[in-house]
Structure 1
Amino acid sequence: AITVDGVRILYDGGWGLIRASNTQPVLVTRCEGKTPAIRDAIAGDVRARILAEGLPDFLWSL
């Protein structure tokens, strides 16, 4: 079993993860996709979900 201390969102072809940092007062996000295009689509959806919760706009650190 895998334990995740956040929210993992499963997509066709990949996943996104949102969790609190263990060392800083920030959210950490990770995205993975079978192709760069799928990864970018997942990252866009994860970003939209975060912004929909009223959190401030942010830049991805790649």
Structure 2
Amino acid sequence: MLRVPDLLATLTTEAVVHHLDLVLDLPDAPGPGVGALRVAVATMDGIAARWSHAS
């Protein structure tokens, strides 16, 4: 079962990754917000930790 906070973290991470992909070649484009980046990094760290324990 996917909990609401997990869903929101997933959506935020998706938005950050796609935003960074879209502005890669636009040096003057603003980056994603600090809060969104924190959520995305924490989400990716959590995924990496689960994969490393699964090995």
TM range (shorter): 0.3 to 0.5
Q: TM-score, normalised by structure 2?
A: 0.43
Structure with the higher fraction of residues in strand conformation: 1
Structure with the higher fraction of residues in helix conformation: 2
Q: TM-score, normalised by structure 1?
A: 0.39
Q: Which has the higher contact order (CA 8 A, sep 6+)?
A: 2
